[in-house]
A = this chain, B = another copy of it.
Amino acid sequence: MAGRNFLFVPGPTNVPDRVLRAMHRAMEDHRSSDFPSLATPLFEELKKIFKTRSGQAFIFPASGTGAWEASLSNTLSPGDKVIAARFGMFSHLWIDMAQRMGLDVEILDVEWGEGAPVERYQEALAADRAHRIKAVLFTHNETATGVTSDVAGMRRALNDTRHPALLMVDGVSSIASIDFRMDEWGVDLAVTGSQKGLMLPAGLGIVCASQKALALYDQAKLPRVFFDFGDMRKANASGYFPYTPSLPMLYGLRESIGMLLEEGLDNVFARHHRLAEGTRRAVKAWGLELCARAPKWHSDTVTAIMVPAGFNGAEVIDVAYRRYDLALGAGLARMAGKLFRIGHLGDLNELMLLGGIAGVEMAMRDVGIKVELGKGVAAAQEYWRSTASPLDQRDFPPRAPDAQPAAATPKKAAAGASR
Protein backbone atom coordinates (compact mmCIF):
# COMPACT_ATOMS: atom_id res chain seq x y z
CA MET A 1 0.00 0.00 0.00
CA ALA A 2 1.21 3.49 -0.79
CA GLY A 3 1.85 6.07 1.90
CA ARG A 4 2.46 5.78 5.57
CA ASN A 5 0.78 3.55 8.07
CA PHE A 6 -1.16 5.46 10.73
CA LEU A 7 -0.08 3.82 13.94
CA PHE A 8 -2.53 4.35 16.78
CA VAL A 9 -2.00 1.33 18.91
CA PRO A 10 -0.92 2.33 22.39
CA GLY A 11 2.56 0.98 21.81
CA PRO A 12 4.77 0.54 20.01
CA THR A 13 4.48 4.21 19.26
CA ASN A 14 5.96 6.16 16.37
CA VAL A 15 9.72 6.31 16.67
CA PRO A 16 10.83 9.79 15.59
CA ASP A 17 13.11 9.85 12.57
CA ARG A 18 15.69 11.52 14.75
CA VAL A 19 15.70 8.50 17.04
CA LEU A 20 15.77 6.02 14.17
CA ARG A 21 18.79 7.84 12.81
CA ALA A 22 20.51 7.72 16.19
CA MET A 23 19.94 3.96 16.29
CA HIS A 24 21.46 3.29 12.88
CA ARG A 25 25.01 2.64 14.01
CA ALA A 26 27.90 0.31 13.65
CA MET A 27 28.47 -1.87 16.69
CA GLU A 28 31.05 -0.97 19.30
CA ASP A 29 32.95 -2.67 22.05
CA HIS A 30 30.70 -2.45 25.10
CA ARG A 31 33.78 -2.97 27.28
CA SER A 32 35.80 -0.12 25.84
CA SER A 33 37.08 2.74 27.94
CA ASP A 34 34.74 5.06 26.00
CA PHE A 35 31.59 3.08 26.64
CA PRO A 36 30.78 4.59 30.05
CA SER A 37 30.51 8.02 28.44
CA LEU A 38 27.45 6.64 26.69
CA ALA A 39 25.97 4.55 29.48
CA THR A 40 26.57 6.53 32.62
CA PRO A 41 24.64 9.66 31.66
CA LEU A 42 21.65 7.54 30.63
CA PHE A 43 21.05 6.45 34.19
CA GLU A 44 21.08 10.05 35.38
CA GLU A 45 18.86 11.27 32.58
CA LEU A 46 16.36 8.50 33.17
CA LYS A 47 15.98 9.69 36.73
CA LYS A 48 14.82 13.05 35.39
CA ILE A 49 12.16 11.27 33.39
CA PHE A 50 10.96 9.44 36.48
CA LYS A 51 11.37 12.61 38.56
CA THR A 52 13.53 11.04 41.16
CA ARG A 53 16.76 12.16 42.73
CA SER A 54 17.28 9.39 45.21
CA GLY A 55 16.16 6.45 43.11
CA GLN A 56 18.19 4.25 40.83
CA ALA A 57 17.37 3.40 37.24
CA PHE A 58 17.82 -0.05 35.72
CA ILE A 59 17.81 -0.80 32.01
CA PHE A 60 17.08 -4.42 31.17
CA PRO A 61 17.21 -5.86 27.67
CA ALA A 62 13.65 -7.06 28.02
CA SER A 63 10.08 -5.75 27.86
CA GLY A 64 7.78 -4.14 30.38
CA THR A 65 6.83 -7.64 31.47
CA GLY A 66 10.46 -8.25 32.34
CA ALA A 67 10.55 -5.00 34.27
CA TRP A 68 7.56 -6.17 36.32
CA GLU A 69 9.42 -9.38 37.07
CA ALA A 70 12.55 -7.51 38.10
CA SER A 71 10.55 -5.34 40.48
CA LEU A 72 8.89 -8.25 42.19
CA SER A 73 11.81 -10.64 42.32
CA ASN A 74 14.37 -8.23 43.73
CA THR A 75 12.22 -7.11 46.63
CA LEU A 76 9.94 -9.96 47.66
CA SER A 77 10.11 -13.54 48.86
CA PRO A 78 7.97 -16.56 48.04
CA GLY A 79 4.63 -16.40 49.83
CA ASP A 80 4.82 -12.69 50.48
CA LYS A 81 1.47 -10.98 50.40
CA VAL A 82 0.81 -8.16 47.96
CA ILE A 83 -2.34 -6.28 47.11
CA ALA A 84 -3.45 -5.30 43.63
CA ALA A 85 -6.50 -3.98 41.89
CA ARG A 86 -7.71 -5.61 38.70
CA PHE A 87 -9.55 -3.36 36.33
CA GLY A 88 -8.21 -4.22 32.92
CA MET A 89 -6.04 -6.66 31.03
CA PHE A 90 -2.70 -5.30 32.14
CA SER A 91 -3.48 -5.01 35.82
CA HIS A 92 -4.73 -8.57 35.46
CA LEU A 93 -1.53 -9.79 33.81
CA TRP A 94 0.60 -8.29 36.52
CA ILE A 95 -1.45 -10.10 39.14
CA ASP A 96 -1.14 -13.29 37.13
CA MET A 97 2.64 -12.90 37.10
CA ALA A 98 2.77 -12.30 40.85
CA GLN A 99 0.75 -15.44 41.46
CA ARG A 100 2.93 -17.53 39.18
CA MET A 101 6.01 -16.25 41.00
CA GLY A 102 4.58 -17.60 44.24
CA LEU A 103 3.24 -14.45 45.81
CA ASP A 104 -0.03 -14.27 47.70
CA VAL A 105 -2.08 -11.63 45.91
CA GLU A 106 -5.07 -9.95 47.49
CA ILE A 107 -7.09 -8.90 44.46
CA LEU A 108 -9.39 -5.92 44.44
CA ASP A 109 -11.70 -6.50 41.51
CA VAL A 110 -13.19 -3.41 39.97
CA GLU A 111 -15.47 -2.84 37.00
CA TRP A 112 -13.37 -2.40 33.88
CA GLY A 113 -13.61 1.25 32.99
CA GLU A 114 -13.14 2.41 36.54
CA GLY A 115 -9.80 3.33 38.05
CA ALA A 116 -7.81 1.85 40.87
CA PRO A 117 -9.93 1.93 44.06
CA VAL A 118 -7.75 3.92 46.37
CA GLU A 119 -10.30 3.74 49.21
CA ARG A 120 -10.48 -0.04 49.07
CA TYR A 121 -6.70 -0.24 49.03
CA GLN A 122 -6.72 2.02 52.08
CA GLU A 123 -9.26 -0.12 53.89
CA ALA A 124 -7.22 -3.22 53.29
CA LEU A 125 -4.04 -1.54 54.44
CA ALA A 126 -5.73 -0.21 57.52
CA ALA A 127 -6.99 -3.67 58.32
CA ASP A 128 -3.54 -5.12 57.89
CA ARG A 129 -2.24 -4.28 61.34
CA ALA A 130 0.40 -6.97 61.10
CA HIS A 131 1.81 -5.46 57.97
CA ARG A 132 1.62 -8.73 56.16
CA ILE A 133 1.10 -6.83 52.91
CA LYS A 134 4.57 -6.25 51.57
CA ALA A 135 3.71 -4.36 48.44
CA VAL A 136 0.95 -2.44 46.74
CA LEU A 137 0.76 -3.09 43.00
CA PHE A 138 -0.74 -0.09 41.31
CA THR A 139 -1.38 0.37 37.58
CA HIS A 140 -1.04 4.05 36.85
CA ASN A 141 -2.52 3.86 33.38
CA GLU A 142 -4.56 0.80 32.45
CA THR A 143 -3.80 0.61 28.75
CA ALA A 144 -6.62 -1.79 28.06
CA THR A 145 -9.39 0.53 29.17
CA GLY A 146 -7.86 4.00 28.84
CA VAL A 147 -8.04 4.65 32.56
CA THR A 148 -5.58 6.68 34.60
CA SER A 149 -5.52 6.25 38.35
CA ASP A 150 -4.41 8.38 41.25
CA VAL A 151 -0.90 7.46 42.36
CA ALA A 152 -0.62 10.46 44.65
CA GLY A 153 -3.82 9.36 46.32
CA MET A 154 -2.43 5.88 46.79
CA ARG A 155 0.61 7.34 48.50
CA ARG A 156 -1.66 9.33 50.81
CA ALA A 157 -3.53 6.15 51.64
CA LEU A 158 -0.27 4.45 52.58
CA ASN A 159 0.78 7.43 54.62
CA ASP A 160 -2.58 7.76 56.31
CA THR A 161 -2.48 4.14 57.37
CA ARG A 162 1.23 4.37 58.19
CA HIS A 163 1.66 1.19 56.24
CA PRO A 164 5.23 0.30 55.24
CA ALA A 165 4.33 -1.66 52.10
CA LEU A 166 6.27 -0.90 48.97
CA LEU A 167 4.42 1.13 46.36
CA MET A 168 5.04 -0.49 42.97
CA VAL A 169 3.66 1.37 39.98
CA ASP A 170 3.15 0.11 36.46
CA GLY A 171 3.88 3.24 34.48
CA VAL A 172 4.37 1.50 31.15
CA SER A 173 1.83 3.65 29.32
CA SER A 174 2.12 6.72 31.51
CA ILE A 175 5.75 7.54 32.19
CA ALA A 176 7.14 10.22 29.87
CA SER A 177 3.60 10.99 28.69
CA ILE A 178 1.50 11.66 31.79
CA ASP A 179 2.58 13.49 34.91
CA PHE A 180 4.55 11.10 37.09
CA ARG A 181 6.56 12.05 40.18
CA MET A 182 8.45 9.21 41.70
CA ASP A 183 9.97 11.01 44.66
CA GLU A 184 7.06 13.29 45.45
CA TRP A 185 4.61 10.39 45.37
CA GLY A 186 6.88 8.05 47.25
CA VAL A 187 6.91 5.40 44.57
CA ASP A 188 9.27 2.56 45.39
CA LEU A 189 9.35 0.73 42.11
CA ALA A 190 8.28 2.35 38.86
CA VAL A 191 8.21 0.29 35.72
CA THR A 192 8.12 1.24 32.06
CA GLY A 193 9.10 -0.03 28.65
CA SER A 194 10.89 1.60 25.78
CA GLN A 195 8.07 1.40 23.24
CA LYS A 196 5.60 3.90 24.70
CA GLY A 197 6.33 7.41 25.90
CA LEU A 198 10.03 6.89 25.35
CA MET A 199 9.33 6.62 21.61
CA LEU A 200 11.65 3.69 20.99
CA PRO A 201 11.17 0.21 19.65
CA ALA A 202 10.36 -2.43 22.22
CA GLY A 203 13.40 -4.04 23.79
CA LEU A 204 14.10 -2.27 27.04
CA GLY A 205 12.37 -2.90 30.33
CA ILE A 206 13.12 0.00 32.62
CA VAL A 207 12.76 0.08 36.38
CA CYS A 208 13.42 2.86 38.81
CA ALA A 209 13.85 1.75 42.40
CA SER A 210 13.82 3.78 45.58
CA GLN A 211 16.48 3.34 48.24
CA LYS A 212 13.82 1.65 50.34
CA ALA A 213 13.25 -0.90 47.60
CA LEU A 214 16.95 -1.43 47.04
CA ALA A 215 17.45 -2.08 50.73
CA LEU A 216 15.22 -5.16 50.43
CA TYR A 217 17.49 -6.82 47.88
CA ASP A 218 19.41 -8.97 50.30
CA GLN A 219 16.39 -10.34 52.10
CA ALA A 220 14.29 -10.89 48.96
CA LYS A 221 14.30 -14.61 48.31
CA LEU A 222 12.52 -14.84 44.99
CA PRO A 223 15.03 -16.35 42.55
CA ARG A 224 16.45 -14.09 39.85
CA VAL A 225 19.57 -14.03 37.77
CA PHE A 226 18.90 -12.28 34.51
CA PHE A 227 16.80 -9.69 36.32
CA ASP A 228 19.07 -9.40 39.32
CA PHE A 229 19.54 -5.86 40.61
CA GLY A 230 22.83 -6.76 42.22
CA ASP A 231 24.65 -7.77 39.03
CA MET A 232 23.31 -4.65 37.36
CA ARG A 233 24.35 -2.31 40.12
CA LYS A 234 27.84 -3.70 40.25
CA ALA A 235 28.38 -3.34 36.50
CA ASN A 236 26.45 -0.08 36.11
CA ALA A 237 28.51 1.55 38.84
CA SER A 238 31.43 1.82 36.43
CA GLY A 239 29.31 2.46 33.34
CA TYR A 240 28.98 -1.10 32.03
CA PHE A 241 26.38 -3.85 31.84
CA PRO A 242 26.65 -7.42 33.09
CA TYR A 243 25.73 -8.70 29.64
CA THR A 244 25.99 -7.27 26.14
CA PRO A 245 23.63 -4.31 25.87
CA SER A 246 21.84 -3.28 22.70
CA LEU A 247 23.90 -0.42 21.34
CA PRO A 248 21.14 0.87 19.05
CA MET A 249 18.69 1.00 21.91
CA LEU A 250 21.09 2.86 24.16
CA TYR A 251 21.84 5.41 21.46
CA GLY A 252 18.14 5.67 20.74
CA LEU A 253 17.37 6.16 24.42
CA ARG A 254 19.91 8.93 24.65
CA GLU A 255 18.27 10.66 21.74
CA SER A 256 14.69 10.19 22.89
CA ILE A 257 15.40 11.38 26.41
CA GLY A 258 17.18 14.33 24.84
CA MET A 259 14.08 15.16 22.85
CA LEU A 260 11.81 14.87 25.88
CA LEU A 261 14.01 17.11 27.99
CA GLU A 262 14.40 19.64 25.18
CA GLU A 263 10.64 19.90 24.87
CA GLY A 264 10.35 19.90 28.65
CA LEU A 265 8.44 17.20 30.48
CA ASP A 266 5.62 19.52 31.45
CA ASN A 267 5.20 20.55 27.84
CA VAL A 268 5.18 16.91 26.84
CA PHE A 269 2.42 16.23 29.34
CA ALA A 270 0.44 19.26 28.18
CA ARG A 271 0.76 18.16 24.57
CA HIS A 272 -0.49 14.71 25.43
CA HIS A 273 -3.42 16.19 27.32
CA ARG A 274 -4.34 18.50 24.49
CA LEU A 275 -4.21 15.75 21.89
CA ALA A 276 -6.19 13.42 24.13
CA GLU A 277 -8.84 16.02 24.84
CA GLY A 278 -9.35 16.67 21.13
CA THR A 279 -9.76 12.95 20.62
CA ARG A 280 -12.36 12.79 23.36
CA ARG A 281 -14.22 15.68 21.72
CA ALA A 282 -14.38 13.64 18.55
CA VAL A 283 -15.80 10.67 20.43
CA LYS A 284 -18.41 12.88 22.00
CA ALA A 285 -19.34 14.30 18.61
CA TRP A 286 -19.87 10.75 17.38
CA GLY A 287 -22.26 10.17 20.25
CA LEU A 288 -20.22 7.25 21.53
CA GLU A 289 -19.12 6.39 25.05
CA LEU A 290 -15.67 6.02 26.46
CA CYS A 291 -14.76 2.90 28.36
CA ALA A 292 -13.44 5.17 31.11
CA ARG A 293 -16.46 5.85 33.26
CA ALA A 294 -15.59 9.23 34.69
CA PRO A 295 -13.53 12.23 33.58
CA LYS A 296 -11.12 11.81 36.47
CA TRP A 297 -10.05 8.53 34.90
CA HIS A 298 -9.66 9.77 31.33
CA SER A 299 -6.30 8.71 30.07
CA ASP A 300 -4.18 11.15 28.12
CA THR A 301 -2.32 8.35 26.36
CA VAL A 302 -5.04 6.01 25.17
CA THR A 303 -8.74 6.42 24.52
CA ALA A 304 -10.92 3.30 24.59
CA ILE A 305 -14.19 3.79 22.73
CA MET A 306 -17.21 1.56 23.22
CA VAL A 307 -18.83 0.42 20.00
CA PRO A 308 -22.63 0.38 19.98
CA ALA A 309 -24.45 -2.81 20.77
CA GLY A 310 -24.69 -5.12 17.82
CA PHE A 311 -21.31 -4.20 16.40
CA ASN A 312 -17.95 -5.84 16.84
CA GLY A 313 -15.02 -3.60 17.58
CA ALA A 314 -12.73 -6.16 15.98
CA GLU A 315 -14.41 -5.51 12.66
CA VAL A 316 -13.84 -1.77 12.92
CA ILE A 317 -10.18 -2.47 13.60
CA ASP A 318 -9.91 -4.89 10.72
CA VAL A 319 -11.48 -2.54 8.18
CA ALA A 320 -9.43 0.37 9.42
CA TYR A 321 -6.25 -1.61 9.04
CA ARG A 322 -6.81 -3.35 5.78
CA ARG A 323 -8.63 -0.58 3.94
CA TYR A 324 -7.09 2.59 5.36
CA ASP A 325 -3.76 1.42 6.78
CA LEU A 326 -4.81 2.57 10.23
CA ALA A 327 -3.77 0.52 13.24
CA LEU A 328 -6.05 0.66 16.30
CA GLY A 329 -5.94 -1.19 19.59
CA ALA A 330 -8.36 -4.01 20.32
CA GLY A 331 -10.62 -4.76 23.21
CA LEU A 332 -9.05 -7.43 25.40
CA ALA A 333 -10.56 -10.31 27.35
CA ARG A 334 -13.88 -9.20 28.76
CA MET A 335 -13.72 -6.12 26.56
CA ALA A 336 -13.10 -8.15 23.39
CA GLY A 337 -15.20 -6.77 20.55
CA LYS A 338 -16.81 -4.16 22.74
CA LEU A 339 -14.34 -1.40 22.17
CA PHE A 340 -11.46 -0.20 20.11
CA ARG A 341 -8.61 1.95 21.29
CA ILE A 342 -6.82 4.97 19.90
CA GLY A 343 -3.34 5.28 21.32
CA HIS A 344 -2.23 8.90 21.31
CA LEU A 345 1.07 8.87 23.06
CA GLY A 346 4.55 9.57 21.90
CA ASP A 347 5.62 11.44 18.81
CA LEU A 348 2.29 12.77 17.55
CA ASN A 349 0.69 15.97 16.38
CA GLU A 350 -2.75 17.25 15.48
CA LEU A 351 -2.74 16.36 11.80
CA MET A 352 -1.62 12.80 12.45
CA LEU A 353 -4.50 12.39 14.87
CA LEU A 354 -6.94 14.06 12.49
CA GLY A 355 -5.95 11.56 9.83
CA GLY A 356 -6.49 8.80 12.36
CA ILE A 357 -9.84 10.14 13.54
CA ALA A 358 -10.99 10.54 9.94
CA GLY A 359 -9.99 6.95 9.30
CA VAL A 360 -11.91 5.75 12.35
CA GLU A 361 -15.00 7.52 11.05
CA MET A 362 -14.69 5.84 7.69
CA ALA A 363 -14.12 2.40 9.19
CA MET A 364 -17.08 2.80 11.54
CA ARG A 365 -19.31 3.79 8.66
CA ASP A 366 -18.00 0.92 6.59
CA VAL A 367 -19.14 -1.58 9.19
CA GLY A 368 -22.49 0.13 9.57
CA ILE A 369 -22.08 2.27 12.67
CA LYS A 370 -24.06 5.45 12.20
CA VAL A 371 -21.63 8.30 12.60
CA GLU A 372 -21.63 11.42 10.49
CA LEU A 373 -18.44 11.68 8.48
CA GLY A 374 -16.31 14.64 9.44
CA LYS A 375 -18.16 15.32 12.64
CA GLY A 376 -15.57 13.96 15.03
CA VAL A 377 -12.87 15.55 12.94
CA ALA A 378 -14.58 18.93 13.20
CA ALA A 379 -14.89 18.71 16.97
CA ALA A 380 -11.20 17.91 17.31
CA GLN A 381 -10.25 20.61 14.82
CA GLU A 382 -12.23 23.19 16.72
CA TYR A 383 -10.64 22.21 19.99
CA TRP A 384 -7.13 22.23 18.61
CA ARG A 385 -7.63 25.48 16.72
CA SER A 386 -8.96 27.22 19.75
CA THR A 387 -6.12 26.00 21.95
CA ALA A 388 -3.27 26.54 19.51
CA SER A 389 -0.37 28.71 20.60
CA PRO A 390 -0.35 32.21 19.18
CA LEU A 391 2.06 32.83 16.33
CA ASP A 392 4.25 35.87 16.07
CA GLN A 393 3.08 38.17 13.33
CA ARG A 394 4.84 38.02 10.00
CA ASP A 395 4.67 40.02 6.80
CA PHE A 396 3.81 38.45 3.49
CA PRO A 397 4.35 39.63 -0.04
CA PRO A 398 1.11 41.26 -1.16
CA ARG A 399 -1.43 39.41 -3.20
CA ALA A 400 -0.86 39.96 -6.90
CA PRO A 401 -3.31 42.33 -8.59
CA ASP A 402 -6.31 40.61 -10.05
CA ALA A 403 -6.33 42.02 -13.54
CA GLN A 404 -3.28 41.26 -15.64
CA PRO A 405 -3.11 40.62 -19.35
CA ALA A 406 -2.11 37.07 -20.11
CA ALA A 407 1.00 38.26 -21.90
CA ALA A 408 2.45 40.14 -18.95
CA THR A 409 5.73 38.37 -18.40
CA PRO A 410 6.00 37.11 -14.84
CA LYS A 411 9.10 37.90 -12.91
CA LYS A 412 10.98 35.06 -11.35
CA ALA A 413 10.38 35.27 -7.64
CA ALA A 414 13.31 34.23 -5.53
CA ALA A 415 11.21 32.13 -3.23
CA GLY A 416 8.93 30.92 -5.93
CA ALA A 417 10.01 28.63 -8.66
CA SER A 418 11.45 25.19 -8.32
CA ARG A 419 11.88 22.50 -10.86
A110 to chain B, nearest CB (A): 6
Q: Could you write out 8 A-B pairs with CB less than 8 Å apart?
A: A2-B347, A3-B351, A7-B28, A21-B22, A21-B25, A193-B419, A201-B247, A332-B417
**Stoichiometry, copies per complex:** 4
Is A355 an interface residue when CB atoms closer than 8 A count as contact? yes
Q: Give the contact stretch, choosing among A125-133, A156-164, A296-304, A406-414.
A: A406-414
A101 to chain B, nearest CB (A): 5
Contacting pair A111 B406 (CB below 8 A): yes
Question: What chain B residues lie within 8 Å of A326 (beta carbons)?
Answer: 351
Report the nearest B residue to A8, measured CB to CB. B29
Question: What chain B residues lie within 8 Å of A321 (beta carbons)?
Answer: 29, 32-33
Digitize A77-112: 1 where CB-to-B-CB distance is under 8 Å, 0 elsewhere: 000000000100110110011001110000101111
Contacting pair A237 B314 (CB below 8 A): no
Cα of A20 to Cα of B382 in the assembled complex, Å: 36
Contacting pair B333 A400 (CB below 8 A): yes
Digitize A321-347: 1 where CB-to-B-CB distance is under 8 Å, 0 elsewhere: 111111101111111111000000001
Is A313 an interface residue when CB atoms closer than 8 A count as contact? yes
Question: What chain B residues lie within 8 Å of A258 (beta carbons)?
Answer: none
Question: What chain B residues lie within 8 Å of A407 (beta carbons)?
Answer: 107, 109
Report, nearest first, the 5 A-B pairs whose CB atoms are least far apart.
A374-B378, A3-B349, A337-B399, A333-B410, A355-B355
Is A11 an interface residue when CB atoms closer than 8 A count as contact? yes
Interface residue from B2, B389, B419 paired with A348 (Cβ < 8 Å): B2
Question: What chain B residues lie within 8 Å of A23 (beta carbons)?
Answer: 23-24, 248
Cα of A249 to Cα of B202 in the assembled complex, Å: 9
Question: What chain B residues lie within 8 Å of A391 (beta carbons)?
Answer: 319, 322-323
A287 to chain B, nearest CB (A): 15
Contacting pair B201 A248 (CB below 8 A): yes
Interface residue from B62, B195, B240, B365 paired with A415 (Cβ < 8 Å): B240
Given contacts A195-B244, A332-B417, A414-B234, contact A7 B29 (CB under 8 A): yes
Question: What chain B residues lie within 8 Å of A416 (beta carbons)?
Answer: 31, 89, 330, 332-333, 336
Interface residue from B2, B349, B400 paired with A4 (Cβ < 8 Å): B349
Digitize A352-374: 1 where CB-to-B-CB distance is under 8 Å, 0 elsewhere: 10111011011001100000111
Contacting pair A400 B28 (CB below 8 A): no
Question: What chain B residues lie within 8 Å of A246 (beta carbons)?
Answer: 201-203
Digitize A190-214: 1 where CB-to-B-CB distance is under 8 Å, 0 elsewhere: 0001010000011100000000000
Is A184 an interface residue when CB atoms closer than 8 A count as contact? no
Contacting pair A417 B242 (CB below 8 A): yes
Question: What chain B residues lie within 8 Å of A329 (beta carbons)?
Answer: 31
Interface residue from B11, B244, B400 paired with A338 (Cβ < 8 Å): B400
Digitize A142-168: 1 where CB-to-B-CB distance is under 8 Å, 0 elsewhere: 010000000000000000000000000
Contacting pair A24 B24 (CB below 8 A): yes
